[in-house]
Each structure stands twice: as structure tokens, then as C-alpha cells.
Amino acid sequence: MNPKTLLIFFIVSFAADSYGQKSKKFFRSDYTYIDELQSFYKIHSIPRNWTEAKRVCAQEQAILFHPDNDEEAQIFISFWNKTNSGILWLLVGLSDILVEGEYETVDGKSGYDVYKNWFPGEPNNFGGIENCAYIDLLKGPGYLADQDCNKQNSFSCKKTLKSLQWNEQCDMPYLDYTFNTNNGKCYKLHTTPLNWTEANALCRLEQSSLAKVTNRRDAEYLAKLTVSTPTPKVKGKYQRGIYHLGFYNRFDEGWQVVGGKPMLVDLNLWYGNYQPEGENLDQCGAMFFDGRLIDINCDTKSFFICEREVKKVTSPDDIAQQIIQPFVGGGLY
Ligand SMILES: *[C@@H]1O[C@H](CO)[C@@H](O)[C@H](O)[C@H]1NC(C)=O
Ligand SMILES: *[C@@H]1O[C@H](CO)[C@@H](O)[C@H](O)[C@H]1NC(C)=O
Ligand SMILES: *[C@@H]1O[C@H](CO)[C@@H](O)[C@H](O)[C@H]1NC(C)=O
């Protein structure tokens, strides 16, 4: 390798490893980093049942929180208490769904090896239907108890600093988003079919939105993305060959882009060079695999594409660091 190539190599790999988000201790703006626990936490106030809570955390690439030990329980509880959310119960990632009486965490630890400060007499599997644990801030020092997994409660997700990975180009923790240099946006094509509303919600969980098409180049890029993304075999009923996108005409206000602006695109970006007028029940936006825009029923399940605009602010310090640091320790020349 000539010295120049070597230098570039160093800058790139150094920038990715040492100056990645780990050192900045940042995961997502809605998670709080607790240094003593080397982890990020978020309290979700919208009640969900246990399975859904677990899914929401996984979607954020975190796990449904359970305290690993007494220390974590105490530090977490004081964080929880300080949020003044008025939330007094939280589901935790601890259940005996698989084997009655044998509690296990969502990350596969035995209930005997983690925080196990059960309320006296709990878990009692009351009525034979209680397999999911929650933690209670009301009764004392943070007791655990079991309840029906169908019951909805608030919950917390946890992400360890150790498990944090960073997509530098997209400035987000999700590695499966790809950067489009033409418009500075990052995209992910989801191959789990959902209806438009669910797809929109899922993109938002990933801190993105359903993809927006503003011009021909966007459409062409998305069409290419559909070709380059491997399509897994998916069971069940869904509409093949189309992809939900971020526009709709749901409230008789004409076509709008998610976020609320009117949709202004060249008519010939629409399938058939014609913008549908909402004359039928097809009030949601999608595209064919070739990038042509179409209206579809919001209930239709299909693949979909999320996008994230990268608003990365590179401070002069960041640039200086990246260029200067590889020389530290010398030995390059
Ligand atoms: C919660 O905070 C209040 C004061 O803000 C305190 O009196 C109370 O003991 C705390 N509870 C727990 C469980 O930490
Ligand atoms: C949890 O909620 C989801 C969505 O509302 C529902 O489909 C599922 O059956 C529920 N599961 C349990 C175990 O209650
Ligand atoms: C989409 O799916 C959700 C959850 O299954 C359902 O509640 C909703 O009615 C469906 N359709 C629309 C248009 O949101």
C-alpha cells in the first residue's frame, strides 16, 4: 500500500471505530443514557400487552427492560421516579410463557440469575393465566409480580452501550439503512408486509418516515432499491410488486406527503400519467416496482420503504479530529 492509500484507510477505519457514536454515548434522542449502567433507557408510556411491548423494543433494536440485578433495579427506579411520568407499573422482560414457573428474560437469562425481588407470595400465577412480570413503584422498593400477558401496561426498553452500532453515513443506529448520495437520504426497504398505517408507524419507530417521492430521480432510486433488495419468501396474503410510500389522500384534502405538505409531483410520475382524485377507497400511496406512483387501499398489506433525511452537523472539531488523530502515535511514514 502506498502511504496515501494507507492514510485514507486509517482515516476511514479510525473514524468508524474510535469516533463512532459509542464515545458520544448516543443511541436515540428518546433514550436516556445512564452512565453507571452503561445503558440507554426509554419509558414507553403507551400501554401495550407483553408481546407487543417486546416487539416495540426489538423494533428499536433494544430489549424489553428487566433489571439484571439489585443495583440496576435501584438506579433504574430512581431514574423512573425522576421522570415524574405518573406511571406506577411497568411490564418487564421476564416471563414464564415457555415453561410454567420457570421465569426467563427476553435475552435468555434465567429468572433465578437476575433481579428477583418478588412481592411476597408472587409470582402466584393467579387464575392460572399470569405468565408475564411487571415491576411496581407503588408498593415498596420495586417489587415484581406476575399478571396476564394480555394486560396492557407501560414498559421500558433498554439498549446497552456495548451492543450499540452506528451507521455513520445515515447517522443512526440502524445498519440496514443505505445512503443515497444523490439526495442525502437513507432508505430501508422492509420485506415484512404491513398495511399502510402499520408501515407508517413502523418507520416512525425507526425514527424515519415512509419514503417520499419528490422528483423523477427519487422514483428511479426507489425502483432500483426494489431490484437490489433480495425478496424473501413471505407467507400469507399480501400485494406483491407494490411498495407503500409516504403520501396519502385520506381526509378529502387532496394528496399529501407524510408530514402534511401537499404532494406536488410531475403528473407523469403517476402510473398512467394521471393523478387519481380519490374517487374510490384507495386513499393511500404506493409505487409499483418500477417506481410509478399509485393509489391503493390503506388496508392492503405490502412491502414498504422508510427514509430518513440525514441532518448531520459536522463541526469543525470533528473534521480536525478525523484528520489529525491518525498521526497520533506516529509511524505512518
Ligand atoms: C420518588 O421520589 C420522591 C421525591 O421526589 C421520593 O420521596 C420517593 O421516595 C421516591 N420513590 C422511589 C421509589 O424512589
Ligand atoms: C397483544 O396485542 C396484539 C395487538 O393488539 C394482539 O394481536 C395479540 O393477540 C395480543 N397478544 C396477547 C398475548 O395478548
Ligand atoms: C391496519 O392494521 C391495523 C392493525 O392490524 C388495523 O388496526 C387497521 O384497521 C388496519 N387498516 C388501516 C387502514 O389502518
Q: Is the pLDDT of residue 1 over 80?
A: no
49, 55, 192, 195: residue to mutate for ligand 3 pocket, most atoms within 8 A of CB: 195
User: For the whole model, what pTM was predicted?
Assistant: 0.76
* Residue located nearest, by CA, to atom 10 of ligand 1: 81
Distance separating alpha carbons of residues 275 and 272, to the nearest angstrom: 8
Q: How much distance in Å is there from the Cα of 76 to the middle of ligand 1? A: 12
**Ligand 3 lined by 199 (C-beta under 6 Å):** no
User: Which residue is closest in CA terms to ligand 3's atom 14?
Assistant: 197
More confident residue, 317 or 228: 228
DSSP 93-128: EEE-SSSTT--EETTS-BTTSS---BPTT----GGG
The confidence score (pLDDT) of residue 312 equals 54
- The CATH topology of domain 178-309 is Mannose-Binding Protein A; Chain A (3.10.100)
Enumerate residues lining ligand 2, CB below 6 A: 49, 51-52, 149-150
CA–CA dist 173, 204 (Å, integer): 14
**Are β-strands 242-248 and 302-309 bridged in parallel, bridged antiparallel, or unpaired?**
parallel
Q: Evaluate whether 233 touches 243 at the Cβ level (below 8 Å).
A: no
Rg (CA), the chain: 24
- Give distance in angstroms: CA of 54 to centre of ligand 2: 11
How far apart are alpha carbons 27 and 165 in whole angstroms? Answer: 9
Considering only 11-20, 149-158, 170-179, which range has the smallest mean pLDDT?
Answer: 11-20
Residue-averaged pLDDT of the chain: 86
- Ligand 3 atom index nearest CA of 197: 14
In tens, the pLDDT along 79-90 reads 999 988 899 999
Distance 164 CA to ligand 2 centre (A): 29
Scored b (16 or more CB within 10 A) or e, 286-301 reads: bbebebbbbbbebebb
Query: How open is the CA angle 121-125-127, to the nearest 5 degrees?
Result: 115
The model's confidence at residue 150, banded by pLDDT at 50, 70 and 90, is: very high
pLDDT tens digits, residue range 25-74? 889 889 999 999 999 999 999 999 999 999 999 999 999 999 999 999 99
Reply yes or no on whether the pLDDT at 293 is more than 90: yes
- Whether the CB of 318 sits within 6 Å of ligand 3: no
Give the pLDDT confidence score for residue 328 in this predicted structure. Answer: 35
Ligand 1, CB cutoff 6 Å, lining residues: 77-78, 81, 137
Which of 17-26, 90-99, 263-272, 278-287 has the least mean pLDDT? Answer: 17-26
What DSSP string describes 255-312? -EETTS-B----GGGBGGG----S-SS--EEEEETTS-EEEE-TT--EEEEEEEE---
Please state, for a pLDDT cut of 90, what percent of the chain lies above it: 64
The pLDDT confidence band at residue 152, using thresholds 50, 70 and 90, is very high
Mean pLDDT over 267-281 rounds to 81
Least confident of 11-15, 102-106, 242-246: 11-15
* Distance from the alpha carbon of residue 41 to the mean position of ligand 3, in angstroms: 29
> Measuring from atom 3 of ligand 3, which residue has the nearest CA?
198
Nearest CA to ligand 3 atom 1: 195
Each domain of the chain, given as residue ranges in start order, spans 16-160, 178-309
Query: Does 16-160 match 178-309 in CATH topology?
Result: yes
Confirm or reject: Cβ of 70 under 6 Å from ligand 3. no
Ligand 1 centre distance from Cα of residue 137 (Å):
9
Instruction: Compute the distance between CA of residue 263 and CA of residue 250 in angstroms, rounded to an integer.
Output: 13
Q: Mean pLDDT over residues 296-316, rounded?
A: 83
Q: Report which bound ligand comes closest to the CA of 78.
A: 1
- Report d(CA 273, CA 71) in Å as an integer: 63
Residue with CA nearest ligand 3 atom 5: 198
- What is the CATH topology of the domain spanning 16-160? Mannose-Binding Protein A; Chain A (3.10.100)
- 234-254: pLDDT as tens digits: 888 999 999 999 999 988 788
pLDDT tens, position by position, 162-185: 999 999 899 899 999 999 998 999
Closest-approaching ligand to the CA atom of 52: 2
Mean pLDDT of 10-25: 53
Neighbours of 3 (CB within 10 A): 9
